[in-house]
């Protein structure tokens, strides 16, 4: 009898079994959830599909914040926020903007590292495009499947060097998704115009190739001519399908990052955040620290642990800044030293060095350890971009404090588990004299009668503003001069109050203001250098501000 009662119109082929949900609630950019007014519910056919009480956006934010705080760990909070973003983007971004210091570590570093490691296991809904080697010959067709027209901003990865975690293949999609969320929250780039892309060319990670929940191609990485042809087709497809797009390269391996940037940066507006964004934020920290050290940029000697794209990118921008202040380029390069996995980068190793290290291979005896290099080079600043944790030991930090009244110690590797030292270690081992910054956030540290608030030298301070400025003026190219302008602007925005508590970056609560200032500086540089395709407005900052996405609901009826 029960089977007979249920059989009418219910078939295994679908029909009435398929839920019909209003498009207004299915589209996260349109959905207001319980904030749809009574008039909207009647006009849009939503009556009865929602509980009767109408909530304000502020009330929804309060409820969502409470829900986040009830979650037991950071990954569970990340999953909740991801689901919220997929359901109601205005509410998601309002929550992040209003509680930025609490939310950013959950949607990006350090939590995004764990999220990427478990991306296959927690995967619920695709966000962005996975373009694979199987799509060779039809990449443009795949891009056209994206439902939003007129994409202006793409963040793309091939997953080979995700943060300090290595080759995560298709699991790296968490990075482009997270970066674009920061663009919208921190710089007001409308999410409609953003597109995260993962280029799946395989992985060398055996745990993933054998992994039960791995979501990518189960094959070794494609390299050489086949890889280059795939990238070339991808770039051509982007230019064809999204001709106004700015492209951000993200977390490519060292072997590809530099050459892809150099090969394509003039074919379409593009930059590599790991090289140029990291350079901008690190240089800004160095510039901001100068009032505390009491000397100038030309007085600095910088020793880098890690000679990959981040380290050499910082050095290149340091050299550009020093040259602009009157130093010769050879002299400026002489101020930058590197320790890689084999020891100090010196001229006698030139035959074995990658091309990007050669400008910093100095004529100096070989040294095998960081501690020996610190003792010999006597740096004023020690910058960690190695992805190797706990490498700034007590011995090294103590030695830096012996050499400098205010040693600059930046442990920039992400996520937190990869930091070269903690904030507490840097302050304790230097007797409170270190000027410290890290890639991932650390809590304030109390030492004696003083509390230090460590700055987060995170690219979030640079890339959103750079991207916003490039998009606002429609720059034909993203130049190193734009990143130098961004770094100087960021350093200028560090207040005396910030410096008084040991912080060489502004409070994250000011991030939209910071991004607007950087965007204005970048657009000014583009106009001054003849790279802007849009006419220069009378008030550049006001024009950019008027284009920034503000997460508030629209009236639909």
pLDDT digits (tens, 9 = 90+) for 287-345: 999 999 999 999 999 999 999 999 999 999 999 999 999 999 999 999 999 999 999 99
Question: Measured at the alpha carbon of residue 154, what is the angle toward residues 153 and 156, in degrees to the nearest 5?
Answer: 160
Q: Rounded to whole angstroms, how far apart are CA atoms 166 and 23?
A: 40
Average pLDDT over every residue of 69-93: 97
Rounded to whole angstroms, how far apart are CA atoms 114 and 448?
A: 34
At 15, is the pLDDT very low, low, confident or very high (cuts 50, 70, 90)? very low
Confidence of residue 21 (pLDDT cuts 50, 70, 90): low
Residue 239 backbone phi and psi in degrees, to 5? -65, -35
Query: pLDDT tens, 126-169?
Result: 899 999 999 999 999 999 999 999 999 999 999 999 998 999 99
Catalytic residue (choose from 32, 77, 93, 108) = 108
**Segment 444-472 mean pLDDT:** 96
Which is it for the CA torsion 147, 152, 157, 163, positive or negative?
Answer: negative
Q: What local confidence, expressed as pLDDT, does residue 12 receive?
A: 42
Residue pair 252/201 in contact (Cβ under 8 Å)? The answer is no
pTM of the model: 0.94
Superfamily of domain 106-268: Malic enzyme, N-terminal domain (3.40.50.10380)
Span 374-397, pLDDT tens digits: 999 999 999 999 999 999 999 999
Judged against a pLDDT cut of 70, whether residue 14 lies above it is answered with no
Three-point CA angle 73, 164, 275, nearest 5°: 125
**pLDDT tier, 1 (very low <50, low <70, confident <90, very high otherwise):** very low
When the pLDDT of each residue in the chain is averaged and rounded to a whole number, the result is 94
- The pLDDT score that the predictor gives to residue 17 is 47
DSSP β-bridge partners for residue 512: none
User: Are 203 and 209 contacting, i.e. CB atoms less than 8 angstroms apart?
Assistant: yes
Rounded CA separation 59/56 (Å): 5
SS3 call for 268: coil
Separation CA 225–CA 264 (nearest Å): 16
* DSSP per-residue letters across 398-437: HHHHHH-SS-EEEE--SSGGG-SS-HHHHHHHTTT--EEE
Which pLDDT belongs to residue 3? 38
Fold for 276-458, please state it: Rossmann fold (3.40.50)
- Cβ within 8 Å of residue 201, ≥6 positions away: 132, 133, 158, 217, 221, 222, 227, 230
Q: Which of 108, 200, 94, 89 is nearest to 148 (CA)?
A: 89
Does pLDDT of 8 surpass 50?
A: no
Chain CA centroid to CA 530, Å: 28
| pLDDT tier at 11, thresholds 50, 70, 90 | very low
Length of the chain in terms of residues written: 557
Catalytic annotation present for 183 = no
Which of the residues 32, 77, 78, 179 is marked catalytic? 179
Average pLDDT over residues 336-357: 95
Distance CA 545, CA 513 (A): 10
Tell me where in the chain the CATH 3.40.50.10380 domain(s) lie: 106-268
Mean pLDDT of 523-552: 98
CA distance 428 to 163: 27
Asked whether the predicted pLDDT for residue 275 surpasses 70, the reply is yes
103-124: average pLDDT? 95
Q: What is the pLDDT of residue 20?
A: 53
For the question of residue 378 being annotated catalytic, the response is no
Angstrom distances, CA of residue 197 to CA of 139, 170, 234, 237, 386: 12, 10, 11, 13, 26
556 pLDDT above the threshold of 50: yes
What top-level class would CATH report for the domain 21-105?
mainly alpha
Overall average pLDDT of the 545-554 stretch:
97
Question: CATH 3.40.50.720 region(s) of the chain?
Answer: 276-458
3-state secondary structure of 139: helix
Instruction: Quick: pLDDT tens for 205-226.
Output: 999 999 999 999 999 999 999 9
| pLDDT exceeds cutoff 60 at 5 | no
């Amino acid at each position: 009898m029960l089977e007979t009662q249920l059989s009418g119109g219910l078939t295994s082929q679908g029909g009435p079994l398929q839920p019909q949900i209003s498009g207004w609630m299915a589209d996260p950019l349109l959905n207001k959830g319980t904030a749809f007014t009574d008039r909207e519910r009647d006009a849009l056919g939503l009556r009865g599909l929602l509980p009767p009480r109408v909530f304000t956006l502020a009330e929804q934010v309060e409820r969502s914040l409470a829900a986040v705080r009830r979650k037991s760990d950071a990954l569970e909070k990340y999953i909740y926020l991801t689901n919220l973003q997929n359901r109601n983007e205005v509410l998601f971004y309002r929550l992040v903007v209003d509680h930025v210091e609490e939310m950013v570590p959950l949607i990006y570093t350090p939590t995004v590292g764990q999220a990427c490691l478990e991306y296959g296991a927690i995967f619920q809904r695709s966000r962005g495009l996975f373009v694979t080697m199987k799509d060779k010959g039809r990449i443009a067709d795949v891009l056209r499947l994206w439902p939003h027209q007129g994409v202006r901003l793409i963040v793309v990865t091939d997953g080979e060097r995700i943060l300090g975690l290595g080759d995560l293949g298709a699991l790296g999609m968490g990075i482009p998704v997270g970066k674009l969320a920061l663009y919208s929250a921190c710089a007001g780039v409308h999410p409609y115009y953003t597109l995260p892309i993962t280029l799946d060319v395989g992985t060398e990670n055996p745990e993933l190739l054998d992994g039960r929940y791995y979501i990518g191609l189960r094959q070794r990485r494609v390299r050489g001519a086949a890889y280059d042809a795939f990238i070339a087709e991808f770039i051509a497809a982007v230019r064809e399908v999204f001709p106004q797009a700015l492209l951000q390269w993200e977390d490519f391996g060292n072997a590809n990052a530099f050459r892809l940037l150099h090969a394509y940066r003039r074919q379409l507006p593009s930059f590599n955040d790991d090289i140029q964004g990291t350079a901008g934020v690190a240089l800004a920290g160095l510039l901001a620290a100068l009032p505390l050290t009491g000397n100038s940029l030309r007085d600095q000697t910088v020793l880098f642990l890690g000679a990959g794209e981040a380290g050499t990118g910082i050095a290149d921008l340091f050299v550009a800044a020093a040259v602009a202040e009157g130093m010769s380029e050879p002299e400026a390069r002489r101020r930058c030293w590197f320790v890689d996995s084999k020891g100090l980068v010196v001229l006698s190793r030139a035959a074995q060095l990658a091309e990007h290290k050669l400008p910093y291979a100095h004529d100096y005896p070989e040294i095998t350890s960081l501690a020996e290099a610190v003792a010999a080079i006597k740096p004023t600043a020690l910058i960690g971009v190695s992805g190797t944790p706990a490498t700034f030991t007590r011995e090294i930090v103590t030695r830096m404090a012996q050499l400098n009244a205010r040693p600059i110690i930046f442990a920039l590797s992400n996520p937190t588990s990869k930091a070269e030292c903690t904030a507490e270690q840097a302050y304790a081992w230097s007797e409170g004299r270190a000027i410290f910054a890290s890639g991932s956030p650390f809590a304030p540290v109390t030492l004696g009668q003083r509390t230090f608030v460590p700055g987060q030298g995170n690219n979030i301070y640079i890339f959103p503003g750079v991207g916003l400025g490039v998009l606002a003026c429609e720059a034909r190219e993203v130049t190193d001069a734009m990143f130098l302008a961004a770094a100087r602007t960021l350093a200028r925005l560090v207040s005396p109050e910030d410096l008084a508590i040991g912080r060489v970056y502004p409070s994250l609560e000011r991030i939209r203001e910071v991004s607007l200032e950087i965007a204005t500086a970048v657009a000014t540089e583009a106009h001054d250098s003849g790279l802007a395709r849009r006419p220069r407005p009378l008030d550049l900052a006001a024009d950019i501000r008027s284009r920034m996405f503000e997460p508030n609901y629209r009236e639909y009826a």
